[in-house]
């Protein structure tokens, strides 16, 4: 069984050294090459002229380091919503977070229209307990407007010493007045895998993909198999709903846990020789038991890799609503003492050669939840395609948002209950169990 892919020199993220500038090979004569170089120098001189004019003439003496940092961040954020500069402290915080422990409120966020938008609150954190919801917009932090701050600056303000209070002002669709809430900061220890037995079915929830996820999955399956005899165990439900993603190697390891062979995912960068393919190794953690994957509009990135791989191989039936559609890979490139850059370096593709960028994974069985009256028309994510500056879908067809609501009480969870009924044979659907023969015909080596 493959445990973790070794990625040397850089960290690879999918949701959340020295940079080598690579250019596409071109046939340029001496005059063309010289003209291109001269144009670059003219642009750099322009930057230098503006920088010096600000330093000399701005009404107050500016902070040179902040000017440079803002320029770098502006350059990166102009590329796509997921590229950014990480100052040294943010880089250290990110490393702590991917290890599964960090300080703060427990909210996955992005920036939209100048405001901090909640992607999802993390399970069992101050944010989740206080009632922060997917698609909330944070407009003020401790009374200070978020408008005008970068995402990193806003996140920094939400972090702080444990047991200190922070006041958030939230704009929520459908609410007539802003929602005010006071939270206590806490050490956020991310238990990325939680499990329980649902009678004769094993239920495993993966909330994100950090360094502990595969080991957590393995422990969960072992615990379920101890509790339910093999001849009684009907199968497993793997819940990836509202999972924003995380580490690429963990997505590969989790997919590999259910596969004996075949490609899991491929990544393709700008150059043809940058294509990488990741394959499963022999050994199925569940000994071939039936698997149903739950996804929704909040399932992004690494979650979509797992769902796409098991769907293409017909190893699992995907149930729920269309996923978020983040099909890009971010590489964390360290810059020594100067932090790091998070740079979008590749698109990823499912085993059948599908790019889900700005499209998402369509479930084999679509099941919509019954929404509380106050959430009707308000429980959808707009998806990757709605983010300003997103990488476009390669075929020009982009998907909209989908429902991202999960009822707090499992008895009201239509998606989970339908999955349980399928595994027990109470419900019948042509998509379950999936056909392995069909998978063999569809899983192809992409060009």
For 398-424, b/e burial (b = at least 16 CB within 10 A) is: bbebbbbbbeeeeeebebbbbbbebbe
d(CA 306, CA 75): 32
Instruction: Determine which one of 253, 301, 303, 323 is catalytic.
Output: 301
Cα distance from N-terminal residue to C-terminal residue, the chain: 28
Report whether 266 contacts 234 (CB < 8 A): no
Active site residue 328: no
CA dist 301 to 15, 243, 332, 437, Å?
5, 9, 16, 27
Cα–Cα distance, 86 to 338 (Å, whole number): 9
Question: Would residue 362 show up in a list of annotated catalytic residues for this protein?
Answer: no
293 and 409 in contact (C-beta within 8 Å)?
no
**Closest C-alpha among 285, 317, 316, 303 to residue 215:** 285
Structural tokens at position 384: 């990757």
Q: How far apart are CA 443 and CA 185, in angstroms?
A: 46
CB atoms near residue 376 (< 10 Å): 10
> Are residues 141 and 110 in contact, defined by beta-carbon separation less than 8 angstroms?
no
Nearest Cα neighbor of 289 from 261, 257, 312 is 257
CB atoms within 10 A of CB 88: 13
| Active-site residue (options: 136, 312, 364, 413) | 312
Assess whether 312 carries a catalytic annotation.
yes
Q: How far apart (Å, rounded) are the C-alpha atoms in residues 245 and 223? A: 24
Catalytic residue selected from 117, 234, 289, 326 = 326
**Catalytic residue IDs:** 301, 312, 326
């Amino acid at each position: 069984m493959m445990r973790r892919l070794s990625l040397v020199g850089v960290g690879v993220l999918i949701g959340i050294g020295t940079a080598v500038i690579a250019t596409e090979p071109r046939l340029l004569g001496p005059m063309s090459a010289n003209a291109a170089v001269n144009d670059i120098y003219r642009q750099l001189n322009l930057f230098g002229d503006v920088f010096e004019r600000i330093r000399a003439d701005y009404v107050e003496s500016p902070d040179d380091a902040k000017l440079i940092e803002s320029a770098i961040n502006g350059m990166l954020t102009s590329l796509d919503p997921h590229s950014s500069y990480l100052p040294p402290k943010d880089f250290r915080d990110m490393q702590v977070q991917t290890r599964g422990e960090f300080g703060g409120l427990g909210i996955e966020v992005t920036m939209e229209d100048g405001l901090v938008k909640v992607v999802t609150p993390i399970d069992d954190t101050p944010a989740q307990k206080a009632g922060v919801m997917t698609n909330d917009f944070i407009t003020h932090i401790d009374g200070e407007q978020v408008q005008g701050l970068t995402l990193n600056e806003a996140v920094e303000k939400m972090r702080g010493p444990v047991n200190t209070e922070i006041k958030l002002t939230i704009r929520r669709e459908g609410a007539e007045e802003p929602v005010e809430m006071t939270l206590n900061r806490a050490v956020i220890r991310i238990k990325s895998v939680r499990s329980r037995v649902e009678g004769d079915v094993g239920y495993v929830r993966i909330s994100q993909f950090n360094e502990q996820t595969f080991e957590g999955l393995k422990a969960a399956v072992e615990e379920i198999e101890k509790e339910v005899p093999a001849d009684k165990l009907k199968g497993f439900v793997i819940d990836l709903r509202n999972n924003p993603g995380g580490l690429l190697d963990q997505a590969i390891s989790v997919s590999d846990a259910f596969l004996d062979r075949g490609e899991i995912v491929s990544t393709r960068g700008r150059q043809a020789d940058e294509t990488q393919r990741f394959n499963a190794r022999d050994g199925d953690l569940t000994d071939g038991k039936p698997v149903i994957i739950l996804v929704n509009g909040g399932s992004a990135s690494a979650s979509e890799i797992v769902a796409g791989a098991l769907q293409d191989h017909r190893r699992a039936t995907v149930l729920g609503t269309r996923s978020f559609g983040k099909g890009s890979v971010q590489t964390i490139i360290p810059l020594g003492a100067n932090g790091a850059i998070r740079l979008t370096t590749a698109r990823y593709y499912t085993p059948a050669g599908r790019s889900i960028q700005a499209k998402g994974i369509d479930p084999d069985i679509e099941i919509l939840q019954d929404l509380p009256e106050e959430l009707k028309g308000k429980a959808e994510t707009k998806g990757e395609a709605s983010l300003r500056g997103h990488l476009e879908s390669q075929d020009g067809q982009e998907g909209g948002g989908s429902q991202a609501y999960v009822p707090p009480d499992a008895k009201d969870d239509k998606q989970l209950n339908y999955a349980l009924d399928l595994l027990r044979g109470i419900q019948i659907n042509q998509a379950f169990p999936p056909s392995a023969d069909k998978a063999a015909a569809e899983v192809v080596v992409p060009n």
